[in-house]
Structures are given as C-alpha cells and as structure tokens.
C-alpha cells in the first residue's frame, strides 16, 4: 500500500499514548482519542484554540511544552498535569520542519506517569524473577550432585542414603531431620538432582529466616491491594513459582501454628489461594521438609500440629550428628583439605596426630563446623603441615581434652589410607617421576595415579 492510502488519523486515534498537534502558529489542529480520554476533554474545547493561550490559562492542563517548542525549535521534555483528571503525564514535544527547515508543526506525545510507574514495577519484578531464576540455575548447575558426592562411610549415613535413593524417582513427601550442619540440604539436593523433576523449579524457603508476618505472603503470594505495601499486580508465592517442581521447606519446625493450618490445607487439596484472592490455583509439586527440631516433642508442647506432622512424615530420613558418624570424619576432612588447597593454591597436608584429634573432637557444629575449621587451618598455615598443635589451637582444646585423646583412634580403612598416603608421598619425594615412584612401590603407573587422586596427593 502506498503512503497515500494509509489512514493516519485512524492509526493515531488508536494509539495508547496521547498525541497533540499544532500548526506553526500554535493553533491546535489535532488531538487523538487517548489525549481526550486521559484529560476527560472534548475536541470542541481544544481544536482551533491557540496553545499559548491554553497554556497560560491552565484550566485544561499545566506544564505544556509546545509553546517552548515553537519558540526554540527544539525538543522539550517535561512533567505536566491534566487539570480535570489530575493525571500527571510525561510530555515530549518536538518540532516538525519542511524541506527548507521551516517549522510547520509542533507535536507532543504524553504518557501517563502512573502507567509508566506500573510498567517500571512490572519490569523490576521481571528482572528480579529472571535474576533469581539465573541464580537458581547456576546454583543447580554448580551442584550437579549425585549420591557419589556424599560421604557415607558410617552405617547410619549409608542407611539414610539408601532411603533417599529409593524415593528419589517418586513424588512422595520426605521429612529430613537432624541437627544443624548435618547435611539435610545436601540430601534434599541429591533427591532433586536424581529425581524425575530434575530441571523443573526447585524452590527453597527457610521458615526460620523470614519474619512470621512475611512468611505467609512468601508461601502463598498475594493479590494487588490485599494489604498495605502490596506490590501492584500482586505477587506469586513460592508454591506457584515452584509449580511442576519441588519445594524445600527448611526448618519447618519454626513455622507459626496459624500457617501450619494453611499449609496442611494446601497439602491436602493440592491448591493454593493468594492472600486477598478468590480463585484457587492447582498445584503439582513435590514437597521436601527439613528441621533440626524434635517435632514429636514440639507436638507435645503444642508448638506443632500432629496432623501436619503425619502429612509430612511419609518418608522420614534421619541424619545423625557427626560425633555419631566417626567413620565419615576422615573422608570429609580429606575432601575439604583438597578443596581449600585448590582454592587457596596451597599444598597443606595433615599429620596422623592432627587427624586423631579431629576424630576425637565432638563437633557440636557438625559438618559445617568441620568445613570451617579445615578452611581456617589451610588459610593460616605457613608450613604446609597441619599438626596436632595447630588443630588443638584452632579447636581451643584444653590440656585435659588433649590428654584424653586416644592416639589409636580411627577405622581400619582410615589407618590403611594414612599408611598408603605416607608411603606414596615418601616414594614421590625420592624419585623424579610418578612412573619411577610407582615402580618403587611395586604398582603400575595408572594405579598410582588413581591412588593419588583418591588420597588427595598432588
């Protein structure tokens, strides 16, 4: 279609933004329907009227830009107000020239600032959601966790992993209990990463980290205007965001009783209704819950609902404290030692006496404390050797505690690996290649490589 066949008036009348046009003398020759609607005006009040006079009177609007555009022959931006509707608008005025650079029209476009703010809020929410989604994706990519990455030398940890493996490919609700730092989140990650919902949303919510008055809106979401401070357009809750995937409710033992009732209703109906909303939203989620609380004790003291407990406790997985998983301590120490040697570009080794002290220590902070202690000992170390004295100092052991440590502590496997490590390190120190060191040890080169990797020997 040629330009002559285009109906520009119809196009302009259907624009969302308001449009105002004058001739070179400032006489109004056109306003579109959006402008009239925005200001509650009629064409008769505007068409043919001079923009300078209208601007001076301020009875229809204030803050107009077209008089300045006509004077300066330049673009002008300003915030103005339409008097009748009290609408604040962002106005952009531009001059239109003929082929001889003479001004022939002045055109202003106006945007409702309230609508711009709403779009800005929506954009901010989209950016936030995209940012959170990117964080979650990067987190899960970084994990790529499977059961082979979890230390389970102790029989109690092997039992916990066996249960986790057996339920990973189902949608059954799992309740993971154990002291803080025992690895509850790692088990939840492993169930997700090896389950049939891998790649779907995996939303984690710490019930003890969010104030009670905000927890409900985080879980269930809300509609616009449902309470003071509610975002425009409302907000989806964690259950909505996780639809099709998995929700981990961490520290569920700290959830307020009134929310426990609502959570139970959601789990029973598989529907969620936003705060201030009327329409229920169908849910397809898998729930994993975890807590460091004794929920049976909480039920007896009236702090946890018994019916919710039985709804959550379909498949229980209990993680013992580290002091009851002594067989896991040495392999965990070796993993953390390799990790922090790599991170801080060090070659720190641990003496047998130092390992004995770590095996005997009760680790009240469990794996989290063990990891932090190993990192600290690697970072502050200048001799590349962690001995019993360094461990004693970092752990703050008293003379009586040091005297009570059994030097023969450790499993047969730990003792064997310790001897292997010592012999390999001595052989490699004597020879100028791994191949010669392997020959001296009576093993082939590939076996030595595998042993070095398993034992964390550089």
For 151, counting Cβ atoms within 10 Å of its Cβ (0-12 exposed, 13-18 middle, 19+ buried), the class is buried
The tally of CA atoms less than 13 A away on the side-chain side of residue 31 is 22
How many residues does this entry show for the chain? 458
List the structure tokens of 227: 């309470």
Nearest to 265 by CA among 223, 314, 219, 315: 219
How far apart (Å, rounded) are the C-alpha atoms in residues 59 and 358? 83
Q: For 171, which DSSP code? A: -
Helix (H) or strand (E) holding 128: helix 113-143
- How high is the pLDDT of residue 225? 73
On whether the CB atoms of residues 93 and 65 are closer than 8 A, the answer is yes
Nearest to 289 by CA among 314, 266, 257: 314
- 94-128 exposure pattern, b = at least 16 Cβ within 10 A, e = fewer: bbeeeeeeeeebbbbbbbbbeeeeeeeeeeebeee
DSSP string, 219-280: HHEE-TTSSTTPPTT-EE-HHHHTTTSEEEEETGGGS-HHHHHHHHHHHHHTEE--BT--S-
Contacts of 16 (CB under 8 A, 6+ apart): 34
CA-CA-CA-CA torsion for 413, 417, 418, 424, nearest 10 degrees? 160
- Taken in order of first residue, the domains within the chain and their CATH numbers are 3-113 (3.30.450.20), 144-320 (3.40.50.300), 325-455 (1.10.8.60)
How far apart (Å, rounded) are the C-alpha atoms in residues 102 and 95? 10
In 24-115, DSSP assigns E strands to 28-31, 61-62, 76-82, 87-97, 103-112
List the structure tokens of 246: 């998995």
State the CB neighbour count (10 A cutoff) for residue 186: 18
- How high is the pLDDT of residue 143? 47
How far apart (Å, rounded) are the C-alpha atoms in residues 178 and 11? 66
Cα four-point dihedral sign 416, 359, 146, 144: negative
Kindly give the interhelix angle for 445-455 and 412-430, rounded to the nearest 10 degrees: 120
Cα four-point dihedral sign 419, 420, 421, 425: positive
How far apart (Å, rounded) are the C-alpha atoms in residues 72 and 379? 67
- How high is the pLDDT of residue 174? 96
- How high is the pLDDT of residue 141? 47
- How high is the pLDDT of residue 15? 86
How far apart (Å, rounded) are the C-alpha atoms in residues 165 and 184? 14
How far apart (Å, rounded) are the C-alpha atoms in residues 178 and 191? 17
The structure's pTM equals 0.60
For 9, counting Cβ atoms within 10 Å of its Cβ (0-12 exposed, 13-18 middle, 19+ buried), the class is exposed
- How high is the pLDDT of residue 142? 47
How far apart (Å, rounded) are the C-alpha atoms in residues 117 and 225? 16
Q: Is 22 helix (H, G, I), strand (E, B) or coil?
A: strand
Q: Which residues of the chain have pLDDT under 70?
A: 1-5, 117, 119-149, 228-231, 403-415, 418, 456, 458
How far apart (Å, rounded) are the C-alpha atoms in residues 410 and 40? 85
């Amino acid at each position: 279609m040629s330009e002559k066949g285009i109906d520009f008036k119809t196009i302009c009348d259907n624009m969302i933004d308001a449009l105002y046009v004058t001739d070179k003398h400032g006489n109004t020759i056109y306003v579109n329907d959006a402008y009239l609607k925005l200001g509650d005006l009629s064409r008769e009040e505007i068409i043919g009227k001079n923009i300078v006079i209208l601007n001076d009177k301020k009875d229809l609007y204030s803050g107009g830009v077209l008089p300045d555009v006509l004077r300066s022959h330049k673009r002008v931006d300003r915030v103005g107000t339409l008097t009748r509707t009290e609408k604040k608008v962002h106005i952009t005025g531009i001059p239109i020239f003929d082929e001889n650079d003479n001004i022939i029209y002045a055109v202003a476009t106006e945007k409702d600032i309230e609508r711009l703010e709403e779009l800005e809020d929506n954009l901010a929410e989209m950016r936030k959601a995209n940012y959170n989604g990117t964080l979650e994706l990067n987190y899960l990519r970084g994990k790529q966790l499977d059961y082979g990455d979890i230390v389970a030398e102790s029989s109690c940890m092997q039992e916990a992993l066996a249960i986790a493996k057996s339920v990973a490919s189902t949608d059954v609700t799992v309740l993971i209990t154990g002291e803080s730092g025992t690895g509850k989140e790692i088990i939840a990650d492993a169930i997700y990463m090896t389950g049939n919902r891998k790649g779907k949303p995996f939303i984690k919510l710490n019930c003890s980290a969010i104030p009670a008055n905000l927890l409900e809106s985080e879980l269930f979401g809300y509609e616009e205007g449902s309470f003071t401070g509610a975002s425009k357009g409302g907000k989806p809750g964690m259950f909505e965001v996780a639809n099709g995937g998995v929700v981990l409710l961490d520290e569920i033992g700290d959830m307020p009783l009134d929310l426990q009732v609502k959570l139970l209703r959601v789990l029973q109906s598989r529907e969620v209704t936003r705060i201030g909303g009327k329409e229920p939203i169908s849910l397809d989620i898998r729930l994993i819950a975890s807590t460091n609380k004794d929920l049976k004790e909480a039920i007896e003291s009236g702090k946890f609902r018994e019916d919710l407990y039985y709804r959550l406790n379909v498949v229980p997985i209990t993680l013992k404290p580290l002091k009851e998983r002594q067989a896991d301590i040495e392999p965990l120490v070796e993993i953390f030692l390799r990790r922090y040697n790599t991170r801080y570009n060090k070659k720190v080794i641990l003496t047998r006496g130092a390992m004995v002290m770590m095996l005997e220590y009760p680790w009240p902070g469990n794996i989290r404390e063990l990891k932090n202690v190993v990192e600290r000992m690697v970072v502050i170390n200048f001799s590349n050797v962690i001995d019993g004295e360094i461990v004693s100092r970092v752990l703050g052991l008293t003379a009586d505690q040091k005297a009570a440590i059994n030097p023969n502590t450790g499993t047969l496997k730990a003792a064997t690996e310790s001897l292997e490590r010592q012999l390999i390190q001595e052989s490699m120190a004597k020879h100028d290649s791994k191949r010669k060191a392997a020959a001296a040890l009576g093993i082939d080169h590939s076996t030595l490589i595998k042993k070095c990797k398993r034992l964390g020997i550089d």
